Amino acid sequence: MPDSMPELLFQARLTSDPSGPLVTFYDDETGERAELSAKSLGNWVAKTHFLLLDELGTAPGDRAYLSLPVHWLAAPILLGCWFAGLEVVTDPAQASVAFCDLATVQSGAVAGVPDVFAVSLLSMARSAEPPEGSSDYAAAVRVQPDSWAAVRPQAAAQDPALDGISRAQLARQAAGTAAELGLDSGGRLMWTEPEFGATAWVAALLAPLAVGGSVVLVRSADRGKTAARAASEQVTAIR
């Protein structure tokens, strides 16, 4: 798929199967479960996209830093950044906007980033009091429009998507990772690993999109529940 991009992988999945589950999330520490279809996730993608474009005035060439644990909100934030034309980076010193969990914000790791959004990770994406120097992502994004019809990819396939990797390269990498994971067309991946950085985003979020599939994200995974959950969720691959 030489001309594809991460954002177009999502767009294709939204077109082909808007109502089927795309991201299912479990937190085995809190007992939370959330399930979002492509259409529901698209609302959050659109809101993030418009937050960046209309509220912050970002443009292709700008960079966003993300630091989040395994969580469904990582998907719309990443996709919202990519639809807005931003490059996602893993070095906060390169970024003009950051989306991080509260612990990362409180650590001071993003103190030099101009616009910092604290992502509370509370169930139902509820707002929380953000640390000083940051804004609450949930509160900021909820007031944005969720009109998917107005969302347009702002970057081209050759533009950087993730740490200098172009959008076309990242889409190809996602397809290759899907094959490595054994994900066939429409496959459903269960992600139980605690790591959730750049490599994990490709495997857990983009690889399922590359095959028109879906993902079950499990935070603080209880390994004793894996087999039964895999059966009930009808997963086809586990990582």
pTM beyond 0.85: the answer is yes
Measured CA to CA in angstroms, residue 105 lies from 23, 65, 119, 180 at distances of 26, 12, 9, 35
The domain of 153 spans 6-238
Closest to 25 (Cα-Cα) out of 215, 232, 236:
215
Is 64 inside any structural domain? Answer: yes
Reply yes or no on whether the pLDDT at 2 is more than 60.
Answer: no
Residue 60 belongs to a domain with what CATH number? 3.40.50.12780
Residue 180 counted as domain residue: yes
- By CB atoms closer than 10 A (0-12, 13-18, 19+), residue 126 is exposed
Distance (Å, whole) CA 114 – CA 120: 19
Per-residue pLDDT tens for 116-166?
999 999 998 999 999 999 999 999 999 999 989 999 999 999 999 999 999
On whether residue 129 sits in a domain, the answer given is yes
Q: Are 138 and 127 in contact (CB under 8 A)?
A: yes
How many Å apart are CA 191 and CA 235, to the nearest integer? 10
Q: Is residue 80 part of a domain?
A: yes
Q: Would residue 215 count as lying in a domain?
A: yes
Judge whether residue 81 has pLDDT over 70: yes
In this predicted model, what pLDDT tens digit does every residue of 32-60 receive, in sequence order?
Answer: 999 999 999 999 999 999 999 999 999 99
Structural domain count of the chain: 1
pLDDT at position 1 is 44
Q: Is residue 1 a part of any domain in this protein?
A: no
